[in-house]
Chains A and B, each alone.
Chain A
Amino acid sequence: MLGKTAGSLFWMARYLERSENNARLIDAGFRIALTRSSTAKAEWKSILITAGSNQAYAATGQEYSSAKVVDFMLRDPHNPSSIISVVKQARDNARTARTYLTREVWEAVNTSWMTLGALLKRQVRDDDLPDVLSAIRQQSAQVRGAWTGTMLRNDGYNFARLGTFLERADNTARILDVKYYLLLPSVAHIGSSIDNVQWETILRSVSAHRAYHWLYGAEISALKIAEFLILYKQMPRSLAFCAQKMQDNIGWLQRGYGEETEAGRMADALLHKKLAGPIQAIFDGGLHEYITDFLRANAALAQQIERDYRFVV
């Protein structure tokens, strides 16, 4: 297949994943802002940082109020990470790779662009926000369903999956990067109710608060949350899960093409060295350094995939 097409599938999947992740971040922020208005401003700021949009937002000169931030993250066409921009980019990439998509997948992506375009035409009122966020999740689920049900499991499939898991790992790692200080055992107000709410927010922003309690019961601890989000392989948004998937997908590509690549070696290293655990070792080495290092390795892997499979000249 064309290198450009592989790149478009990769980026289409990244943008689709990003729209869903950002919707989740907005949801988490909105919830905190409703229940704890005193910390809302700081919370929105950290959410914008996680979404990689804080600089762009600061440049608008607007205050960190729910209404303004939500509008910026949902609809601002000048914000490259707004839902509307991201969905448009996903669709542009899908159009470029149109010949590699089934009709079902293309129509799901196109419908999601049309539906969200209509929903986000005007500023979303607070009481409509839950519906809009749920619509974003639904559109995303429809694309995923069409994808899983109709796409050939060929090289194009693997490139798109790589995009999904790279983006997801990046998102989870960014959440940890922004909130790592809450997970440090040395923090003074450990065990306080502030912590509990903040920790819940972390779990909510990866849609895993229920799963966490299923797994660990009622006990919330920094170590367990970190373990859950970094190393727990059954959790579909953990770093280890994403790294395992990326290694699988590159493995298929290498076997299909009969050629081992540097990207393949990097994916192996990410999984087997970086994510070998245990969690205590990660804490001992410094959580913040670890996360920063992971983000760098993940980004380097993305670049290597782009080079090895000739996405661009």
Chain B
Amino acid sequence: MERAGSINFFDEMQGQGGDVRTPYSEFCEWFDAEEPARIHRKAQQAEAFFRTTGITFNVYGQDDADERLIPFDVVPRIISASEWRRLSRGIEQRVRALNAFLHDIYHRQEILRAGRVPIELISRNEAFLPMMMGMDPPGGVYTHISGTDIVRTGANEFYVLEDNARTPSGVSYMLENRETMLQMFPELFAKVPVREVSDYPINLLRSLAACAPPMCGGTPTVAVLTPGIHNSAYFEHSFLADQMGAELVEGHDLRVVGGRVAMRTTQGYKAIDVLYRRVDDDFLDPLNFRPDSVLGVPGIWDVYRAGGITIANAPGTGIADDKALYSYMPDIIEFYTGERALLPNVPTWRCSEPEHLREVLDKLPELVVKEVHGSGGYGMLVGPAASKKEIAAFRAKLEANPRNYIAQPTLSLSTVPIFTKSGLAPRHVDLRPFVLMSPQGITITPGGLTRVAMTKGSLVVNSSQGGGTKDTWVLED
């Protein structure tokens, strides 16, 4: 095995020292008794399984690699029951605060009046949707589905790296990774008590149905709105619709009929009560947002305002996961819950502030710099991994438009081993737990999606940049 748990990085299997940490002890016992050749064979079977199932994603701008697999690693990432208790409490607190923040921002804006968040950050923010002002989404829920990205840097050190309050993706990988592990190594699950994740789709359906709009009569009809088969996350859209038994619709399947949003069925138009949309706000309604959008439904906004449909997540939630606002999250949590944040933020420099910018420019080679509106690992600088030329180019961009960036120290992300031809080798990971919110409460599926940088030393875990995934185990108490 490559050296793990060095001075610089915390390895979740080996800790800092080299002894197997308790959550991994049963797994390691099993692993040590296995033939590497067998595991290798199983890993190949897993890849074939992902291909035939069609668990692929499209990479934009790459014609030849039309559909790609996200690499899957067979070594699970294991979280103890007590670690998970701590994490899930922190996540729940955060998601409640985000919802309270959204409600406030789109109503009385108390937090701005109190001066806890600067007003320009909202008023000049493209993610702020003035049309949502005074609007009450059914059930009072804004973020029906959210994902909280968490990184670990030590035995007891967890940070929230970012919040995803728009349309977080990846949950299908969480479910299929478990399914794959169960097929490949059933005996392992008899040996290690791992908490189930398979009830996510049914919880999602319940959660969405519980937010049905006032005009819904009877059992709510739920549909998933996808941009179509060429979208990078199409597999996930069809997977979730299939698992929930909901219709998978595209914009051209929908129209407003009699004050409701309805889908064109073989027997005529049928009203939809809850729309789990996987298209961005901008594309929702060409009459009210981007006029050139063909992905949305003309007039859906008016139906929404009149209580004829629930849109999940609510339009305008992007203001809550905006990277410019991220650094205010500890204040936001305190403001709405009266408690200190249970999970800390990563220290963040706001380049919009001159002193912060000066400091960032001073130590650019050590920092990670992100675009305020970026996602997917695009348009970011990882200082320690960048060349002099790349750093110089980024410096120019920063100076030209500082408001567009935030900077963070390069975190010593924890590692978990992956299985390679020459044995186990530590690789950096992060974690995205998935959170469902309804008027009945918050449900967090134990674990989430572990993303892993497959390249030695790399800190970038995004699938669009070659990152892979692992099954994530939360152990039973």
Query: Could you list which residues of chain A lie within 8 angstroms of chain B, going by C-beta atoms?
Result: 1-6, 92, 95-96, 98-99, 103, 106-107, 110-111, 114, 155, 159, 257, 259, 309-310, 313
Contacts and interface: CB of A to CB of B under 8 A. Distances in A.
Contacts of B340: none
Contacts of B241: 99
A61 B268 CA distance: 47
Nearest to B267: A257
8 contacts: A1-B266, A2-B265, A3-B253, A4-B250, A4-B252, A99-B248, A107-B54, A110-B51
B54 A309 contact: no
Contacts, number: 62
Ordered nearest first, which 8 A-B pairs have the shortest CB separation? A98-B238, A99-B242, A309-B266, A3-B264, A95-B229, A99-B241, A6-B266, A107-B52
In this complex, which of A3, A110, A159, A313 has the most chain B Cβ atoms within 10 angstroms of its Cβ? A3
A95 B247 CA distance: 14
A92 B52 contact: no
B229 A310 contact: no
B249 interface: yes
Given A114-B52, A313-B264, 9 more contacts: A2-B247, A4-B250, A96-B228, A99-B238, A103-B53, A107-B52, A110-B52, A257-B267, A310-B265
Contacts of B263: 2
A121 B325 CA distance: 50
Nearest to B244: A99
A259 B267 contact: yes
Contact of B229 (A5, A96, A99, A155): A96
Given A111-B52, A114-B52, A3 B229 contact: no
B266 A257 contact: yes
Interface in B313-363: none
A240 B444 CA distance: 58
Nearest to A103: B53
A223 B341 CA distance: 87
Nearest to B248: A99
A5 B252 CA distance: 12
Interface of B: 51-54, 228-229, 234, 238, 241-242, 247-250, 252-253, 255, 263-268
A313 B252 contact: yes
Contacts of A111: 52
Contacts of B267: 257, 259
A98 B29 CA distance: 41
A313 B265 CA distance: 10
Nearest to A258: B267
Contacts of B248: 98-99
Contacts of A155: 266
The DSSP consensus for interface residues of chain A is: helix
B54 A95 contact: yes
Contacts of B253: 2-4
Contact of B249 (A2, A103, A159): A2
Q: Which of A1, A4, A6, A103 has the most CB of B within 10 A?
A: A4
A217 B268 CA distance: 52
Contacts of A107: 52-54
Contacts of A98: 54, 238, 242, 248
Nearest to A98: B238
A297 B431 CA distance: 59
Contacts of A310: 264-266, 268
B238 A95 contact: yes
A92 B229 CA distance: 7
Nearest to A309: B266
B202 to A, nearest CB: 16
A182 to B, nearest CB: 42
B363 to A, nearest CB: 48
Nearest to B255: A313
A114 B48 CA distance: 11
B359 to A, nearest CB: 49
B264 A106 contact: no
- Among B249, B250, B264, B268, max chain A CB count under 10 A is at B264
B278 to A, nearest CB: 14
Contacts of A4: 249-250, 252-253, 264
A114 B264 CA distance: 32
Given A4-B264, A92-B229, A99 B52 contact: no
B234 A95 contact: yes
Nearest to A159: B266
A300 to B, nearest CB: 19
Nearest to B49: A107
Contacts of B250: 4
Nearest to A3: B264
Contacts of A106: 54
Nearest to A95: B229
Contacts of B242: 98-99
Contact of A114 (B51, B238, B247, B255): B51
B198 to A, nearest CB: 15
A313 B266 CA distance: 11
A88 to B, nearest CB: 10
Contacts of A5: 247
Contacts of A159: 266
B217 to A, nearest CB: 21
A96 B54 CA distance: 13
Contacts of B54: 95, 98, 106-107, 110
A4 B250 CA distance: 9
Contacts of B53: 103, 107, 110
A313 B247 CA distance: 17
A89 to B, nearest CB: 12
A188 B242 CA distance: 61
A117 B199 CA distance: 36
A248 to B, nearest CB: 18
B296 to A, nearest CB: 15
Contacts of B264: 2-4, 310, 313
B410 to A, nearest CB: 40
Contacts of B266: 1-3, 6, 155, 159, 257, 309-310
Contacts of A257: 266-267
A219 to B, nearest CB: 47
Nearest to B56: A110
Contacts of A6: 266
B265 A3 contact: yes
A100 B43 CA distance: 30
Contacts of A96: 228-229
Nearest to A308: B266
B242 to A, nearest CB: 4
A96 B229 CA distance: 6
User: By CB atoms of chain B within 10 A, which of A5, A96, A99, A257 has the most?
Assistant: A99
Nearest to A94: B54
Contacts of B247: 1-2, 5, 99
A22 to B, nearest CB: 23
A5 B265 CA distance: 9
Contacts of A114: 51-52
Nearest to B249: A2
A159 B267 CA distance: 13
